[in-house]
Amino acid sequence: MDLQLSGRIALVTGASQGVGLATTRTLLQEGALVVAVSRRTSPGLDELAGPNLVHAPVDLAHPEGPGVAVAYTAEAFGGLDILVNNAGGPPPGAQLPRFGFLSATDEDWRAMFEFNLFSAVRAIRAAIPLMLARGGGAIVNISSVNARKPAPMNVDYNAAKAGLTNLTKALSEEYGPQGIRVNTVSPGPVRTAWWTEEGGAADIIAARTGADRDTVLDKIVPEMMNLTTGRLVEPQEIADVVALLVSPRSASTTGAEFSVDAGFLKEP
């Protein structure tokens, strides 16, 4: 199926690995022009190098970062049609999971909201005028299933993502009549560096359970989260949904939330 994305100008944040990298790759395959935003590049991103890809080395946790990334896109390709707010997770220097509400300080909360909510707010604020100038656009915010099913773990992260999910619906109401569609994709546990890298979530859980990393990823987490599929989600499975949502094929889809979560939420 042709997603009609050829020549569309896209900005993807958190693009150097995981869901962001998979989304960048997928949009490029569909013919889009993509600005990939991350603090630094990566081997995976370097493999995608070509005339339709520009890397913007921007720190989105800095208040000016999102606006700089949007301006970078306008300068590189002349406008903006698609914004994918994927950057999120542990802020630089933080480790998740955190267990219990009292484990996060005020500074932890501020850093979490800066990276997971305010960076998206600022990117959207900068992007909307460019999209309106081109007659519309599509925004996808990457939230989390924990925005709707919170737990006494990563409380600050869950609250920030709940704010992002709510923001999506408000924006869809305000800007839908002007041609800008805004949707949410809420992943469950995705097999990304957040889980798999040394010192990541799998290692933290392994230290608490006495298991090894592979057992945590392949058995303990799927059982703990009661995942219907019995496995973590793959980044490409998120990217495929994002690509469809930003496509003109989804012209009547706005203000919606799509859970790609291996059956975690057990939605009716």
pLDDT confidence of residue 130: 98
Residue 259: what pLDDT?
Answer: 96
- CA–CA separation, 129 and 124 (whole Å): 9
Instruction: Please indicate whether residue 157 is annotated as part of the active site.
Output: yes
Question: What ranges do the domains of the chain cover?
Answer: 9-188+234-259, 191-232
> With respect to CATH, is domain 9-188+234-259 assigned 2.60.120.260?
no
Q: Is a pLDDT exceeding 70 seen at residue 267?
A: no
pLDDT at 261 over 90: yes
What is the phi/psi pair of residue 98, to 5°?
Answer: -105, 135
Q: Evaluate the omega torsion of the peptide bond into residue 66 and state whether it is cis, within 30 degrees of 0.
A: no
Q: In the numeric block, which tokens belong to residue 24?
A: 């960048």
What's the per-residue H, E or C state across 107-119? Answer: HHHHHHHHHHHHH
- 149 is a catalytic site residue: no
Q: List the catalytic residue out of 72, 157, 175, 266.
A: 157
CB atoms within 10 A of CB 64: 12
pLDDT at residue 152, rounded to an integer: 82
Q: Which position among 161, 169, 175, 219 bears the catalytic label?
A: 161
pLDDT, residue 16, reads 96
The per-residue pLDDT for 203 is: 85
Whole-prediction pTM: 0.93
Q: Residue 153 pLDDT > 90, yes or no?
A: no
Overall residue count recorded for the chain in this entry = 268
Two structure tokens written together for 261: 């979560």
Closest to 54 (Cα-Cα) out of 84, 81, 24, 79: 24
Q: Is the pLDDT reported for residue 13 higher than 70? A: yes
| pLDDT digits 0-9 by tens, 25-37 | 999 999 999 999 9
Average model confidence (pLDDT) for the chain? 94
Task: Count Cβ neighbours within 10 Å for each residue of 11-37 and write b for 16 or more, e otherwise.
Answer: bbbbbbbbbbbbbbbbbbebebbbbbb
Per-residue confidence (pLDDT) for residue 148, from 0 to 100: 92
